[in-house]
Amino acid sequence: MIDTTTPKGRILVAAFALAAERPWGDISLADIADKAGVSLVDLKASFDGKGAMLAAFSALVDDEMLRRAPRRAPDQSTRDALFEVIMSRLDALAPYRLALKSITASGPADLGHLRAILDAQHWMLAAAGVPNDGAAGLARAAGLATVYASVFRTWLDDDDPGFARTMAVLDRRLRRGESALNRVDDVCTGAQRIASTILPGIFGRRPKPSPQTDATASATTPPPGA
């Protein structure tokens, strides 16, 4: 998944190797540069900080997930499709689980990493064949993020080789979220119906008369009481 023939790839591999050995918060950029065999100048040319490394890693995981996730069958439910997509993502993350424990324990993600996490929800929806554009897409992505965060935390501590506990939590959270997803669809459908009724009336309103028209009307219409 990580191309180790490039400086960026070697830096990412070094960062995750160090995170698997000790707390992420204790690892400096100089430590990562030394481990990767590059100078700090070279590291700076690739990443402006550890958060940027995590964002780049998340994008690579998106790519691997999209390669692994099976195409949604025509008769497959949204819940089942999302189940397979999320498990495909976790499978892609499996080699880095020890490092991810360290990174997760270090505290909240920075803004760049958070943006990458939200992008991941967008691609998981796309892989599951779920519409992800517009206001409804944003609502779906936010809802999926809460599901994924809960499942991810369970997965980090799931020592079962088959990840039975992770899959049980994922199935339960998706079933619970399915009704919320339906509510989002109902709300958006209602909003679209209202808009289709109101907007034509607003934008189809007759234009106001021009000043010249007003002047003409004044000249030809007798004043009140005439």
**Residue 95 Cα distances to 2, 19, 30, 216, angstroms:** 11, 13, 24, 81
CATH label of the domain that carries residue 140? 1.10.357.10
pLDDT at residue 225, rounded to an integer? 47
pLDDT digits (tens, 9 = 90+) for 115-162: 999 999 999 999 999 999 999 999 999 999 999 999 999 999 999 999
pLDDT value at position 216? Answer: 47
What is the residue type of 146?
T
User: Does a structural domain hold residue 210?
Assistant: no
Q: Residue 218: inside a domain, yes or no?
A: no
Helix 78-93 vs helix 111-127: crossing angle, to nearest 10? 130
Give 184's pLDDT tier (boundaries 50, 70, 90): low
**What's residue 59's pLDDT?**
96
Domain span holding position 73: 7-203
By CB atoms closer than 10 A (0-12, 13-18, 19+), residue 170 is buried
First vs last Cα of the chain: how many Å apart? Answer: 88
211 within some domain = no
Does any domain span residue 219? no
Amino acid identity of residue 68, one-letter, is R
In a domain? residue 53:
yes
In terms of pLDDT, which residue wins out, 214 or 25? Answer: 25
Q: What is the DSSP string of 5-39?
A: TSHHHHHHHHHHHHHHHS-GGG--HHHHHHHHT--
User: Per the structure block, which two tokens stand in for 75?
Assistant: 């008769």
Taking 90 as the threshold, does the pLDDT of residue 199 lie above it? no
Residue 144 pLDDT: 94
Is 126 part of a structural domain of the chain?
yes
- As for how many domains the chain has, the answer is 1
Average pLDDT, the chain: 85
In a domain, 121, yes or no: yes
| pTM of the predicted protein model | 0.78
Tell me whether residue 199 is in a domain. Answer: yes
